[in-house]
Each structure stands twice: as C-alpha cells, then as structure tokens.
C-alpha cells in the first residue's frame, strides 16, 4: 500500500540535537529513526513511499535516494511546516487514486501491530498512555468500542487514555478532504481529516502493543533501548584478542576495538569508530561512525553521534552527545538526583520531567568540555558551547 511518511519538521523539543539535523534523521541503534520507520512499513505491506521533507531536506534525500529495500521513494516538499494535513496535501500529487497510509517518520511502531493496521483500513493506530492530556484522545462508538467517531486534541479532562498514534490508513477519498481550517494551535491538522472520514465510513481503532513518539532527547534514549533489543551479534570490525565482547554487540566494518576493552551488549559500534584501550561500554549504547572512546572511559546506556570523542578518563551515563562533541579528560556526567526523583530537563523554556530515574546530559554538535568538567544530571549544553577546565555545570549552557 502506498505510504506517506512525514519527515519535514525540525523537532524544536529535541534541540540542540536538531540544530543542524532533521529529527527523523537522528540515529538510534546506528540508523536514522526514519530508516527504522521505512523498514517496518516495508515489512507491514508498504508498496511505495512518499516522504514529505522540509527542514534540511537534502539530508533525507542524500541518505535514501530514490528507493529503499527495493521500494520506490518519491519526495514531496513542505516548504513551511503548517501542520500534518498540509504535509499530506503536499504529498497528494504523488498518490494514486487508492487507499494510502500515513506514518510519522520520527515514531516507532511495533511491527506486528503495524502489519495489523495495514490490513485493517480505514483505520487509525491507538495506544493507551498514562498522560492522555498530552495527545489526541480517540473517541469510540458506545456500541462498538473499535469504531472511531472522532478525536479530541490534548483535552484537559480526557474521556479515556486511548490516544492517536499518528498512524492512519485512509481511503482514497481522503485526498479530497485535506483542505481543512486552521486549528486553535494555528496548524492544519490531519485529525480534522480523520474526523471527516469517520463521518463518511467506518474507521477502526487498531491497538498498538508498543509505540514511541520520539520528540524529546530522553525519548531518543528510549528508542535506542527498544531498537537495541533486536541487535544480533556481528563483529565486522577489528577486535583485539585482549578485548571482551559479551552479548549482542554489533561492530561495523572499519571500527577498532582495542585491548582491555569490555563491551556488554546490547551495543552498537559504528564504522570507523575507535574504542579503547581499557574502555568499558555497557547498557543499550550506540557509538556513531568515526566516534572515539579512549583509555579508561566508561560509557553507560548512552548515544554518541558521529565523530563524538570521549578521549580518556571520563564517565558518560544515560546521555546523548551530538556530532563532533569533544569531552576533555576527566569529564564526569552525573545521572542521578540525590532525592531519587525523576531527572528534569528544560524543553522550550520549561522544566519537564523525563520520567527517568537516571538521565545524564544532552550535548549539541561540536560542543567541548575542558578537562575535569563535571556536568549535573539534566544539563543541556548547546551547539558549539564550551566549558573551562575544572568547571562544574549545574545549569544549561545554550548560548
């Protein structure tokens, strides 16, 4: 089935990681989020893709080209991000007069549930959450609890905890329903199209066993943890006889694992990365292409994007380091509050709970720390920011 994948947004809640990278192109377990979405859609029954691009569109085009796993990819550009209905409207000229699927390129859908969605159209993916007020809550027919009658965006007093996952199977006629009015949020919403279609035909709520909206930095960690469950041991790089590799660890070609290194999987080591000597990597960790983890460094349950360097004598836990980050010797990351409450992070000017007992730091591309820097749990270091030797950073440094 033809599938529209939305990948035009920047992802402002993910800053500074998206200062120069579109959110769907952030990597989890070694590959862009968008690639994981395309893979799962291909397995579920996609016949071709229309990828809607916008922010840093060339990064998407350059990575995927005109096909993925043998399926054609067409691109539609959303020049201004005015909402999801506008994004699908940009894709409409590339669609045949047939039913079509819409997915978010920065979300993870469990494969089995996604396959059920493809087979159940017209349909919308549903999921039960603890905080439904943050999402669109689906309304169901009182006589048929699988039939969707509407959706209420971010209600103050939600009727249920069943939310819209942003995954749809629309009938062909939905292409003619994309001219919607601007919502109170100032956007053209695809949920308005869904409500119109619900009034014209039966739309089924397909429950997802697992789903993740990757919108904020700690959710990139959660995505890496989920995707790492599917890693299969593969050692294509150079692994020293003096290294210990345990569990499902992927070492890509060109990567080097030096003597004294211990890696406890699941873990992903990208091409041309260098680990060690005497480094310790554990948890669901992903080390990007060309990254460097040096002598006596411990990396726990973290993501290091391409070219990041933690040279020696440092600890990084439950953190995300952007491209080209350089941690000076002795840099230490705190990842636990003394009161044992969930770590908070500032997102778009507001303190937000990560819901995680352990969470370290978020560091933008090309940031650098001086030797013996200490970074407190929940700190955000902006793109190209620096610290001085011996500095203790307890607050964000964004500019």
368-386 average pLDDT score: 97
- 257 closest CA partner among 271, 238, 242, 272: 238
112-117 average pLDDT score: 96
In this structure, are residues 274 and 293 in contact, taking their beta carbons and an 8 Å threshold? yes
Looking at the fold, whether 139 and 179 belong to one and the same domain comes out as yes
In this structure, are residues 383 and 367 in contact, taking their beta carbons and an 8 Å threshold? yes
**How big is the CA angle at 40 (ends 37 and 43), to the nearest 5 degrees?**
150
In a domain, 374, yes or no: yes
Mean pLDDT of the chain: 94
In a domain, 223, yes or no: no
Looking at the fold, whether 372 and 280 belong to one and the same domain comes out as yes
Phi, psi of 167 (to 5 degrees): -120, 130
pLDDT in tens, 143-170: 778 898 888 888 888 888 999 999 999 9
**Residue 325 pLDDT class (50, 70, 90 cuts):** very high
**Residue 252 pLDDT class (50, 70, 90 cuts):** very high
Domain range enclosing 198: 2-214
What pLDDT sits at residue 156?
81
Looking at the fold, whether 156 and 247 belong to one and the same domain comes out as no
Mark residue 231 as left, alpha or beta (left: phi above 0; alpha: psi -120 to 50; beta: remaining): beta
What pLDDT sits at residue 181?
74
Alpha-carbon span 164 to 256, nearest angstrom: 44
Alpha-carbon span 62 to 283, nearest angstrom: 31
CATH code of the domain covering residue 203: 3.90.550.10
Catalytically annotated residue among 63, 295, 312, 338: 312
In a domain, 319, yes or no: yes
What pLDDT sits at residue 206?
95
In a domain, 325, yes or no: yes
Task: Select from 165, 183, 214 the last residue of a domain.
Answer: 214
In a domain, 347, yes or no: yes
Looking at the fold, whether 87 and 35 belong to one and the same domain comes out as yes
356-385 average pLDDT score: 97
- The total domain count for the chain is 2
**Confidence check: pLDDT of 141 > 90:** no
Between 57-71, 80-94, 240-254, 367-381, the lowest mean confidence (pLDDT) is in 80-94
Looking at the fold, whether 151 and 258 belong to one and the same domain comes out as no
**Confidence check: pLDDT of 182 > 80:** no
- 279 closest CA partner among 306, 312, 308: 312
Interhelix angle 57-64/33-44, rounded to 10 degrees, is 50
Whether 68 is catalytic is no
pLDDT in tens, 195-241: 899 888 999 999 999 999 999 999 999 999 999 999 999 999 999 99
Looking at the fold, whether 282 and 388 belong to one and the same domain comes out as yes
Instruction: Tell the residue number behind the tokens 């209600």, with chain if given.
Output: 155
What pLDDT sits at residue 178?
83
Report the percent of the chain where pLDDT is more than 90.
Answer: 81
Looking at the fold, whether 174 and 30 belong to one and the same domain comes out as yes
CATH code of the domain covering residue 267: 2.160.10.10
166-189 average pLDDT score: 84
**Residue 83 pLDDT class (50, 70, 90 cuts):** confident
What pLDDT sits at residue 136?
87
What pLDDT sits at residue 151?
87
In the 8-state DSSP scheme, what is residue 120?
S
What pLDDT sits at residue 152?
86
In a domain, 398, yes or no: no
Task: Select from 153, 184, 214 the last residue of a domain.
Answer: 214
**Confidence check: pLDDT of 183 > 80:** no
What pLDDT sits at residue 142?
76
In a domain, 219, yes or no: no
Looking at the fold, whether 276 and 207 belong to one and the same domain comes out as no
**Residue 399 pLDDT class (50, 70, 90 cuts):** confident
Looking at the fold, whether 10 and 149 belong to one and the same domain comes out as yes
Alpha-carbon span 376 to 301, nearest angstrom: 17
Q: DSSP of 237-277, one letter per residue?
A: SEE-TT-EEESSEEE-TT-EE-TT-EEESSEEE-TT-EE-S
Which one has a higher pLDDT value, 149 or 379? 379
Looking at the fold, whether 163 and 276 belong to one and the same domain comes out as no
Report the percent of the chain where pLDDT is more than 70.
Answer: 100
Looking at the fold, whether 332 and 296 belong to one and the same domain comes out as yes
Alpha-carbon span 321 to 303, nearest angstrom: 6
CA atoms within a 13 Å half-sphere pointing along the CA-CB vector of 19 = 18
Looking at the fold, whether 346 and 252 belong to one and the same domain comes out as yes
pLDDT in tens, 272-293: 999 999 999 999 999 999 999 9
């Amino acid at each position: 089935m033809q599938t529209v994948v939305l990948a035009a947004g920047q992802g402002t809640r993910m800053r500074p990681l998206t200062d120069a990278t579109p959110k769907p192109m952030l990597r989890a377990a070694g590959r862009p989020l968008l690639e994981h979405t395309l893979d799962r859609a291909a397995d579920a029954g996609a016949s071709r893709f229309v990828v809607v691009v916008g922010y840093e569109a060339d990064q998407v085009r350059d990575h995927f080209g005109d096909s993925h796993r043998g399926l054609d990819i067409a691109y539609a550009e959303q020049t201004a991000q005015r909402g999801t209905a506008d994004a699908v409207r940009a894709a409409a000229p590339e669609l045949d007069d047939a039913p079509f699927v819409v997915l978010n390129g920065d979300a993870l859908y469990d494969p089995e549930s996604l396959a059920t969605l493809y087979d159940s159209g017209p349909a919308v993916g549903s999921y039960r959450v603890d905080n439904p007020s943050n999402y669109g809550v689906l309304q169901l027919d009182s006589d048929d609890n699988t039939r969707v009658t509407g959706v209420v965006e971010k209600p103050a007093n939600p009727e249920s905890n069943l939310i819209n996952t942003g995954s749809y199977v629309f009938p062909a006629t939905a292409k003619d329903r994309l001219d919607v009015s601007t919502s109170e949020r100032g956007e053209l919403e695809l949920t308005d199209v869904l409500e119109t279609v619900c009034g014209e035909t039966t739309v089924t709520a397909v429950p997802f066993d697992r789903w993740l909206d990757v919108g904020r930095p700690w959710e990139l960690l959660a995505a890496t943890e989920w995707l790492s469950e599917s890693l299969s041991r593969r050692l294509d790089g150079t692994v020293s006889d003096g290294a210990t590799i345990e569990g499902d660890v992927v070492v890509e070609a060109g990567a080097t694992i030096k003597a004294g290194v211990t890696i406890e999987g699941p873990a992903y080591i990208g091409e041309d990365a260098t680990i060690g000597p005497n480094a310790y990597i554990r948890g669901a960790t992903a080390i990007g292409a060309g990254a460097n983890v040096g002598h006596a460094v411990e990396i726990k349950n973290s993501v290091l994007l391409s070219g990041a360097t933690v040279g020696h004598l440092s600890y990084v836990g439950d953190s995300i380091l952007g491209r080209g980050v350089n941690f000076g010797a002795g840099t230490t990351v705190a990842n636990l509050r003394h009161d044992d409450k969930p770590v908070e992070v500032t997102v778009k000017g507001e303190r937000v709970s990560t819901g995680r007992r352990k969470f370290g730091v978020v560091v933008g591309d090309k940031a650098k720390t001086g030797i013996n820097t200490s970074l407190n749990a929940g700190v955000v270091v902006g793109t190209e920011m620096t610290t001085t030797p011996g500095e203790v950073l307890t607050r964000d440094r964004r500019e």
